[in-house]
Structures are given as C-alpha cells and as structure tokens.
Amino acid sequence: MRHINAAGLAIIKKAETCSLSAYLCPAGVPTIGWGSTRDVHLGMKITATEADERLLSDLRDAEDDVNRLVKVALTDNQFSALVSFVYNIGSGNFQKSGLLKKLNSGSYTSVPGELGKWTRGGGKKLLGLVIRRAAEGGLFLRL
C-alpha cells in the first residue's frame, strides 16, 4: 500500500491550520484538527495528538481512494499531490471529476490545470485553495 510522501504532507500542513476546537470551514462544514471533517460537531475539542491521529487516519482513506480510482502509473510525487487533493475535496468529488477522467485516459499534462479548477469554497474563490492547488500541481509535475 502506498502512502503520501513528506512533500505531500507538507502541502496539507501548510494549507490546513491545526485547530483543536471545531469550526466551520469556508464551505460551512464543521472541521477540526488538520482539516478533518469526519464525525465533527461544533463545540468539539481535541488534543494535538488526536489531531495528528485524525490526519493520519483521514489520509489513509484518501490514499485508498487514489490507489483504487487512478488506473495509470503514478510517481510518488504524483500520488502524494493527488492524496492532498482528495483529502481536501473528498472521494465523491474526485470520482466524478474531469481530472480523474483525463488522468485515467493518460493525460498527465492536464492535471495541474484541472487542479486549478478546484479553488472555490462556499461558492467563493479562496486564495488559500489557489495556493494549495498550485502547490499540488507543482508537486505533480516534479519527478
């Protein structure tokens, strides 16, 4: 089983501020830790250790999704960029994305541009997502 590399993890930790108290993200979803949304409710509190444990657990799901859904060969950097992306947008969105369709047809070069289409939260273009997608695209292209 493949796992996200240090470069991919760094993108996530730079993009996601670790919050030990639940909050609503820009899309209005209850969030805690390093961007975890699983079983989160407002008023919830966790420790730093629990935040790291949640991240690793949530990343396993994103890794499984990339391993299962991507049908073409990936470098470690390509895999890790996609895990960061799936961690942020969710499996369902990834499954129906044009990015996945194009990648699985062998169009590796289309991936950075497709990533750049996913920069909105709550209907608004967010600078943090623009920066994150650029970092994921850069990692995807790095051999």
Q: Which of 18, 25, 50, 53 is catalytic?
A: 25
SS3 20: strand
CA–CA distance, 136 with 78 (Å, rounded to integer): 9
| 25 carries an active-site annotation | yes
| 16 carries an active-site annotation | yes
Q: With beta carbons less than 8 A apart as the criterion, state whether 116 and 137 touch.
A: yes
Side chain identity at 9, as an amino acid letter? L
CA–CA distance, 131 with 95 (Å, rounded to integer): 23
Alpha helices in the chain (DSSP H): 6-15, 48-69, 76-89, 91-95, 98-104, 111-115, 127-141
Q: Which of 16, 63, 114, 136 is catalytic?
A: 16
Active centre residues (catalytic)? 16, 25
